[in-house]
Structure formats: C-alpha cells, structure tokens
Structure 1
C-alpha cells in the first residue's frame, strides 16, 4: 500500500473510532528513522488539541511523558498518544498512560520489526536492573513476552506501509447507550456517575456510620464523582476533607471540585495526607478517601473510627493498589464494624465505550485482568514447591498471570514495573507453593550481594551506591559490615498467600522451602525489608528472622517504619544474633528521640533496655506506696522505669504498652490518654497504680 493510501486509511479509521466512541490502537513496525518521519507526516494531517509522547524524538508541540511529572497527567486526556519504542519501552508508563487517550483518539506504538525487537536492549528499564547489569546491552524477556500477548489482541498492525492486521470493529449498538448520550444531568457525564454522586451526598444526610465504598476500573469517573459531590456539599456550607495515597492521586477530584465552585469556597475542600489525619484531631462533615486500596488496611480502619461519615473510592482491578485484597480484607472489617455500609460499583467507562479495544489490550498485555476464581486447598492432594526464573515465563504465561494477580491482590504497591522486572531482571526469582496447577502462595526473591570487596568498602564509606542490592547495601552502610555485602544473599521482597487460604501456615511453609533452596544454592543469609506491623513482625520472627535495623522515618505509602530482618542460612547465626542485640539496645536508647510515633506494641517487641538496675527494698517500698496512691508519679518515675525494664515482659499488653509509651518513648500526656482511653492524667495514673498493684508490685 502506498504511504499516502495508508495515511488516508488511518484518518478514515480515526473518524470511525470517534463515531463508535472507542480509541484506535495502532502498532507500526519499521526502522526508527522512517517511522518518525512518517509519523510527523501523519500528525500534520490530523487535527488534535493535545499530543502525548513517550520516548525519544518528541515533536515541539507534544507533552513528553518522560519526567517525574508523568503520573500527575494520568487524570487528563489527550487526542493522540505516540509511544516511540524504537529506543526503549517503559512498560509501567505505557500501561499507566493508556487511560489518557479519549474516544476517537489514536494510540500509536512505533517499534522495530517484531522479529528483531525482542533481541534489542531496553534502556527504558534501566531502573529495574541490578548492578552490574547494563540496560544498554542487557537483553531481557519482557519485550518477547509482551509481543506474544500483543499479537493476540484486537489492534491494527502495520509493517512498513502494509497493514498486516485490521481492527475488528465493535458493534455500533454498543456506542448508542454511552455516557455522552445518557440522560445524566451535567456536570455528571453518565447516569452511573450521577448515582455515585447521589450516594455520596446521602452519606452526609443519612445515618451516621454508614460508609460508602465506591469501586470501579480506571476511567469510570469515580474520582470525578468525589469532586462533583464535594462541590455540591460546599454550596451548602459543608466542610470536606480529602485524603489519598499521594497529592497526585487526589488531583482529579480536586480539579472537578474547583471547576464547579467559586474561589471563595475552595477552602471547603481540604486535602490532608492520611498520616496527618491520624496524628491530628481534625473534624469535617465528610471524609473522602480516594484510591483507598493503595492505603494500608490498618490506616483505613483507624480512619473509619475517627470519622463517622466517610466515602472510600478505589480501583479494584489492581493497577493502583491491592485490587481484590481490599475487597476481601477491608470490606470484611466493614461488615463487622459498620453493618449498614453501602457499596456501588461503576461499570460504564466515561471516556469510551465498553468494548474499547485499547482498554482490552492494556488489561491483557499487562496482565491486569485478574482471575476471580476462588482457590481451595485440597488437603488430600500434594502441595509442591517450585522456583521460576525470568526465562520460564515466556513458555508459561498462564503461570505468570497467576503470580502477578496474586502479588497485585495481596500487596498495595505492586505495579506493572514489577511484572516487567520479573521478565527482565535475571536476579529476580519467584518461589511458589502450588497444587493442581493453582498458585497457593508466592514470594518474590532478589539475589543480591557478592559485591567486590573494594566496592563494598566504598559503599561502607558512603562513596558509592549500587542499584538492586538493598540488603547488601544496608549491611555495608547502615550496619557497618562491608564484608557481609561480599557474600551471596537472598532478599524476600514480597510474600503473598491467596486471601481465602490465609491462616493455614502456607506462608511459613513457603519460607521453609525457600530456606532449603537457599541452603542448596550456598546462600549465606536471607533477608527481608517491609513496613513493619505487629502481625508481620511476629510472622517473620516465627520463621527465624531477627530485626537488625529500623528506618528513621515512616514510609509515605504505608505510614509504617521500614524494618530490615536477617536470617542465617549457611553462615553463622552468631553475627545475626549480635546485630539483633545491638539493634535492640540502640532502639531503646533512641525511642524518645527518633521514634516517638512508633506504636508501643512494636517498641516493646523490638527494643531492649541496656542497663538493668535492681531496686533496693527501700526503692521497692516507694513504688508500692505509689501503687496505693501514697506517692506522686513524679517522685518515683525513675524507679518505675528501672522496675519496668526488669519486668516488662511479664506484664499484660495494655499496661506494658502504656508504660512503654510513658517511660521509654516519653510521649505527651494527651497521647497517653488517647492510647488508654482515660479522661485525665490523674485518672490514668490511678489506673496505672491499680494495674501495678494487681501485677505483683
């Protein structure tokens, strides 16, 4: 086909896509120079308002999505999105940006010929590769895998100027009932969105403690519904707080709110980070939580108790957060705490029709279409253990779909870049427990260490940092043991168990198998790093891991402190034990200074007093008098600290944690009162005294 004829065909298809309210996905193979030249001609013949561009050689009028501002643009729209994959293919950004293309728009992928592309290096994935791999020369497996998926999709495929695959056009009937032709009253675009706004308003006017959960796949207008409802509430003088995993995640709701309200009323909607909401006593007529699945469940539970009128909006298909894990865990908690809660699910896309081929391409090629089948454990059948490496996924994509679904479902930070890393990073492996071809549990493991001694010393001195060796680097720099960075290490990055099969020891079984595999591979230490909670700490301790470091600031995504834990495999356990003792002692000395907001439960579990002082009979009598209300706290606080350091392990959890917060962390009295539920310092001290008396003082 002559080039001019191809241009005419593409323009005709774009007009047809606009009539059907779909996006037109086109994959164009060829040499980079020719493709860029022909794309420039194509763009000069098409009317568009906004052009997004991924990759090199972006034209002057394009918005180039290669900087750190990328995810701030995801709530916006474009007429054309061009992906120049000839010099690199950023899988995470390609997946995330697909939602920007509006109906009638073109999604254009420029790439080398399919037969050659898998043999190319992919510099766009340089952040996924560990030292010393070079992204400019390393040949991974993601492109080959993705191409296999792509060729099964409904997409136009052009090789040079020849159309090799035509689009299978959806029925025109599917476009008739679209949101642009609905009876929705502006500013709502669809009837479903209008129902969502009404449901949000009812949370404010209806009974207290009847939260609403608003769920949808991307592009269904749930965030916009939050902003529209907030604008209507602001007109009646209501105060609304909006929180989300990040300020960027809240931008769509804020933009819709501000477009619908006068500047004088913009203060009626305030964005607050969720950690600030938990630390401060803020009040509002309504709390809106956007992308709730990307916020840890314990945080959502605390917000639920602090605010009596609350709306949780979230994506369930997994790209933005925990997917079905939110549905299984947090919604179960809602059942027990707020039996009158409501759920509304939005199905109708706002920007395009249901049968949109680009959305199907995105779901299928990036494995975002999660399996919903419930998995049961057949106790009579064998449970087997296996380890998969990057090259295995090319021949078993169904297994990879299971693994990625489970990781997305169970962990709020799983993204498409994790899928790309599993295929491109040869130092990543996946350990699984499976039964009857079904994945029961899986763990993502990073092979680290074996760093040259000279480089390890440079890391120890703070002169170098290397990518992909978190465990080795922490041992060398933070724990001042560069020699450990030269050893063979495995770091368990994530571990996930099917939600329906949790509490059946499958996680422990998987870690036990991983240790055996590590022994056979000559690995010296196993390690892990995660946002610590009480249950997670106990889980890893039961598996033999010991805490050796705690980050000095809480994680922005989880509001939890990051802990590093170590488990000796073929190395001596003495070093790990020594590191654990040093850590516990240092944590005790720094609790008040560095970790005042660490939960008392974790402080008691992790810290250990360094100097134990035995009290004299006279000093014990002073404490006994305090327990009977005959001595002021200020007179005996130093004695109580010495006594608590000796006996804290045998005390009931509530008293143990209260004294930890008071004596170890030196928290303020308002914090202490909030923790104990007491109304005054006097009543709290009386309660402490009574508890001490009841526990043998």
Structure 2
C-alpha cells in the first residue's frame, strides 16, 4: 500500500474512533528511520492539541515523558501518544501513559518486527537489573511475553507500509443525555453522595471506586464547587499535586475567582503534621497513599471522601480495597462505597483499555482462591524464563504481590521477566496460588568490591542485603557469600492466619539449603505484627534504618537467618544491633513506637540494685521521694525487669526512660491528664509489680 494511502486510512480510522468515542491502538513494525519518517508524515496530516512521546527523537512540539512521571500523569490528557520502542521499552511508563489518551486519540507503538524485537536488549529497564548485568546487552523476557499478550488483543498492526491486522470495531455506545456539568448519570450520583457526606451524620466516609477514566476526580471538583458556594471549606490531598489537577481544574471552572480559596490542596504528609480544619477532606487516588496514612487521616477528619483507582497500572488498588476498607468497617461501620462503572473519557469496551489491562496483567481474577486444609499442597519454584509458558500462573502471582505491597507497579511485573536473579516460590493447591514469595539472589561480590562498599566508595544495584551487611554491619566478608533476600511475601487475604506464610518460609529455607545459600534476609517497613511473624520464622534483626518513611512513619528493618553458614554470626550481629539501638533510641528514632523499641533494643546488663537503692525506689512508690531523685535507679530497675512487666507499664517506662519522650508525649500515650497523675500511676505500678 502506498504511504499516502496508508496515512489516509489511519486518518479515516482516527475519525471513526472519535465518532465511536474510543481510542485507536496502532502497532507499527519496521525500521527505526522509516517509521520515524512515516510518523512525522502522519502527524502532519492529523490535527491535535497535545502530543505525548516516549523514547528518543521526540518532535519539538511533543511532551517527552520520562520514567519519573508515572504518578504525575494521573489525570492528564493527550490526543496522540507515540512510543518509540527502538530506544527502549519502559513498561511502567507505557502502562501509565495509556490512560492519558483521549477518545478519538491514537496510541502509536513504533517497534522492530516482533521476532527481531524480542531478541534485542532493552536499555529502558536498566533500573531493574542487578550488578553485574548490563542493560545494553542483556536480553530479558518481558518483551517476548508482552508480545504474546499483545497478539491476543484488538489493535491495528502495520508491517512497514502494509496493514496486517485491522481493528475489530466495537458497536456504538447508546446515547445518554446528562445535564451539565455532569458527563454521566453515575458521576451525578457520585456528586450527590459526596454532598451527603457533609450534610449527613459524622464519621460516615464515602469511597468512590472506579477504573481510570470514569470521572471520579472530576466528581470531586464538581462537588467541591457546589459546597464552596454554600460557604464550606474543603481540603484536597493526593499522592502528588499533579494527581489532584483534574479535581482542581473542574472546581475552578465552576467557581468564581473569589471562591477559589475554598478548596486548598495540601500534601498528605503536611496534613498529618498540621492541625488543619475543614468541612470536608477529599482524598484523590487514595490507593497510591500508604494505608497507615489513610488510617491517620480517617482519625483526624470526621467527614472524608476517598476516591480510588481499584486497579490500574499502579497495581495498588486491590490492596486498598482489601486492607483499608477492612479498617473502615472496623472504625466507621456506617461508611458507604460507590462503584463507578461507566467510562466517561471513552466508551465501554475501548480497545486500548482492554489491551493495556490484558497485556500488563492488570485484570482482576474472577474468583478468590480456596484452600482445603485436608488436601495436599505443593510448592512451585519459578525463574524469569519460566513465565513465558506460564502466563496464567504469572497473573496470579502478580496480583498476589500487588495485594502485599501498596507500591507494586508494572515495573515489578517487568522485573519478574527481565531480571534473572529474581525467583518466585509459591504454595499452591488445585492450580491456585495460595501464597507466594519474591526472592532476590544477591551477594557473591568480588572481595575488592565488597571492601569498597564497606569503605563507602561503591554502591551496586540489586544487592541490598549484601551491601547492608558490608557497610552498615561492617562485615564485608559476608557480601562475598551467596545470599537470598525475601523481597515480598504474600498470602491470599482470605487465607491469612492459617500458617501458610510460615509453611512457605520453611520451604524457602529448605530450598536455600539445597542451593548452598549462606544466609536468608528480608527488609521491610517494620510493624509489631510483621516483626513477630519474621521472628517466629527464625529471623533476627541486624539493622534498623535511621529515618522513617515520611508517609507511613515506618522504619526499614533488615532481618537475617543463617542457612548453611554460622548462626553465631547472626547472633553477634543481632546483639551488636540491639545494644547500639538502645543507646540511640532518643537521638535517632523519635518516631519508633515503644512497643517496637522494647522488642528490638536491649540495654547492657546492669548490676543488681543495692538494698539502699531498692529502699529509695520503695519510698518513691509510697510517694516519699520525687521522681527526679530516683529516675536513674528506676532506669536500672527497669533494665533488669522490663521483660516481665505488663505491656502498658513497660511501654510507658520505655517511652520515658529509654526514648526520653517529653511529658506531653507521655501523657498522650497514656491518656493521663497531668505529669503528677502519671507519676502517681507509675509509683502504684511499681509497687504492684514486685519492687
């Protein structure tokens, strides 16, 4: 087909897509020079306002996207999106940007012929590969896997200048008429529900749930505009300012300039630090905000709306649905949920949305996994190349990993296929994955490199456990050993607390023994429950990061277990860590809970108190000595006896004596109203607990 005829055909199809209110996915295979030239010609024949471009050779009028913009893309729109895969294929960004294409827009993928493409390196996935792999030469499996998925989807495929597959056009959507400013009847219902949160009973939050492109962010802005005209003050928060733009734009379009200060965007970490008041808090893209933050916001604000993408390129929505909504049911039994099904940017059955959801495994499983405790289970072990023939199993694993961690993204799927040092171990029954763990093979670094890491002169990608042991624990020789790090472990939500996670960890240790692995490790944001889980599995703590995550307030912990190497080294590292932590609690760990401080820190073994010293403490317990006179003695007594004390008493003394918290903080923790009442309570507890 002559190029002019091909371009005319594409222009006609683009117009047809606009009439049907869908996006046009086009995959164009050929040589780089020819396709870039053809694309320039195509862009000159099609009118557009905004062009997004991924990869090299972007035209001057294009917005050239980079890998840092995933969350910033939420809510933004373009008429044409071109992906130049000749300079690399960033799976995460491809998935994220697809949602920006408007109805009547073109999604254009420029790539080598499929057979040639899957044999090439992918430099765009450089950040996914561990040392010493070179992204410029390493051939992963993601592109081959993605092509297999792509071949099953509805799209236009062009080979050079010949159309090899045409689009299977969906039927026209039925016409619906909704009064402005609404785009759908569901959106109108959503706005009415938001308004009811303000006028109805307190502490009855609303969750607006939908896939992308359903108009939920716009609904927030429309509702805020209506509330502003009645004098209400609204706060809007989101994972980033860019993610809040759609709601803000709709609000400003519908209100006079004098009312624009009625809706304020405030970053969620700032909201937690400040004492903010509002008639309503709107949380957009709530699934991309850590669950502990959402829980704090829920406690702080009595009228709140959470808008969430329940699944999408972020891979976070399912975790929000399962974890945070369970918390809502406990704390606010009267909360409501509204599901928006009807797309507003494009019609139901849009080919591009279906392509992205299917090719990146973003579709939700139809059924929850079932477990028969009386039937046999078996363990699976998968490496990167295995997934090419196990797409259905990979989909189960990817969804399960998404549920385990709020930041799981498409790049994690790509890493499973492109990083040969990643392996997955599963617990399965009747072809269903009940639990899975993602494991990184690390260590075996050259001695010179391990020494350079120990000296702080080098860092290498993909060896978190080895580097931490060399640098933070001052044991560079351990970085030369073969190590496995359990990056994530997840059990089906409906099957938790049935010891399946423990079974899987036991199997991982057995597999590590067979593979002659020296140590197993894991690093994660620590909570009391997670710490207990890993301790029960035989892991000990060897490091605690010195800064907490600003969103979740969790400190990153590193835990270790000996497999074929010396368990004594684990014991030494754990003792070294716990005594250092005791000394640094007040200085370096201001946000650490007293519960975790008690579980992780260990004071130096103090000498027994003398009879005279015990007499002084007894006088304090009788109200005959001031706290300031005996505080050092109380510390020595506590260090001797803290393990046997009741939880509330020892957590209070830990906060006061180990962590050196201020009296206002102590009073907030205990719920008491004055320093005197708190000291009286401590004195009484001292007497009760065997002084």
Q: Which residue does the alignment assign to 2:235?
A: 241
SS at match of 1:529: strand
Within 2, Cα distance between the matches of 1:98 and 1:412?
A: 21
Q: Deviations over 1:101-132 (max 9, x none)?
A: 00000000000001211101100001000011
Shift of 1:584: 0.7
Shift of 1:459: 1.1
SS at match of 1:152: coil
Q: Deviations over 1:7-34 (max 9, x none)?
A: 1100000000000000000000000110
Within 2, Cα distance between the matches of 1:552 and 1:132?
A: 29
**Cα 1:266/1:596, change in 2 over 3 Å:** farther
Q: Which residue does the alignment assign to 1:46?
A: 46
1:78 equivalenced with 2:78 (yes/no): yes
Q: Which residue does the alignment assign to 1:305?
A: 299
Shift of 1:334: 2.2
1:554 equivalenced with 2:553 (yes/no): no
Within 1, Cα distance between the matches of 2:677 and 2:284?
A: 39
Q: Which residue does the alignment assign to 1:176?
A: 175
Q: Deviations over 1:79-101 (max 9, x none)?
A: 00000001210000000000000
Q: Which residue does the alignment assign to 1:98?
A: 98
Normalized against structure 1, the TM-score is what? 0.96
Within 2, Cα distance between the matches of 1:277 and 1:673?
A: 23
- Range moving further from structure 2, 639-648 or 51-60: 639-648
Shift of 1:37: 0.5
Among candidates 321, 325, 334, match of residue 340 of structure 1 = 334
Among candidates 581, 588, 601, match of residue 587 of structure 1 = 581
Normalized against structure 2, the TM-score is what? 0.97
Q: Which residue does the alignment assign to 1:66?
A: 66
Within 1, Cα distance between the matches of 2:266 and 2:605?
A: 42
1:130 equivalenced with 2:130 (yes/no): yes
1:113 equivalenced with 2:108 (yes/no): no
Q: Which residue does the alignment assign to 1:433?
A: 427
SS at match of 2:440: strand
1:635-646 mapped onto 2 (5 Å cutoff): 635-646=629-640
Q: Deviations over 1:411-442 (max 9, x none)?
A: 21110000000000000000000011000000
1:505 equivalenced with 2:504 (yes/no): no
Q: Deviations over 1:510-558 (max 9, x none)?
A: 0000000001001101111101101001001111111111111112453
Q: Is the 8 A contact 1:245 1:557 kept in 2?
A: no
**Cα 1:597/1:398, change in 2 over 3 Å:** same
Within 2, Cα distance between the matches of 1:402 and 1:203?
A: 37
The number of equivalent residue pairs is: 691
- Range moving further from structure 2, 334-343 or 223-232: 223-232
- Range moving further from structure 2, 582-591 or 634-643: 634-643
- Range moving further from structure 2, 657-666 or 327-336: 327-336
Within 2, Cα distance between the matches of 1:417 and 1:107?
A: 20
Within 1, Cα distance between the matches of 2:236 and 2:663?
A: 29
Q: Is the 8 A contact 2:316 2:409 kept in 1?
A: no
Q: Is the 8 A contact 2:70 2:92 kept in 1?
A: no
Shift of 1:324: 2.6
Within 1, Cα distance between the matches of 2:312 and 2:595?
A: 31
Shift of 1:253: 3.0
**Cα 1:534/1:83, change in 2 over 3 Å:** same
SS at match of 1:340: coil
Within 2, Cα distance between the matches of 1:548 and 1:243?
A: 37
1:219-258 mapped onto 2 (5 Å cutoff): 219-258=213-252
Q: Deviations over 1:555-610 (max 9, x none)?
A: 24533111111111111011111111111111111111111111111111111112
Q: Is the 8 A contact 1:319 1:408 kept in 2?
A: no
Shift of 1:263: 5.1
Shift of 1:262: 4.8
Q: Is the 8 A contact 1:20 1:175 kept in 2?
A: no
Among candidates 501, 524, 528, match of residue 534 of structure 1 = 528
Within 1, Cα distance between the matches of 2:431 and 2:687?
A: 58
- Stretches of structure 1 lacking an aligned partner (at least 5 in a row): none
Within 2, Cα distance between the matches of 1:281 and 1:683?
A: 27
- Range moving further from structure 2, 493-502 or 621-630: 621-630
Shift of 1:666: 1.3
- Stretches of structure 2 lacking an aligned partner (at least 5 in a row): none
Q: Deviations over 1:306-360 (max 9, x none)?
A: 2221212211125335333322332223223222111111111121111100000
**Cα 1:571/1:368, change in 2 over 3 Å:** same
**Cα 1:288/1:656, change in 2 over 3 Å:** farther
1:512-531 mapped onto 2 (5 Å cutoff): 512-531=506-525
Shift of 1:259: 4.3
Among candidates 604, 615, 628, match of residue 610 of structure 1 = 604
Within 1, Cα distance between the matches of 2:641 and 2:245?
A: 51
Within 1, Cα distance between the matches of 2:546 and 2:500?
A: 32
Q: Is the 8 A contact 1:185 1:194 kept in 2?
A: no
Q: Deviations over 1:209-257 (max 9, x none)?
A: 1111111111212223223323333333333333334444334334444
SS at match of 1:559: coil
Shift of 1:677: 1.4
Within 2, Cα distance between the matches of 1:218 and 1:489?
A: 40
Q: Is the 8 A contact 1:175 1:353 kept in 2?
A: no
Q: Which residue does the alignment assign to 2:147?
A: 147
Within 1, Cα distance between the matches of 2:430 and 2:73?
A: 43
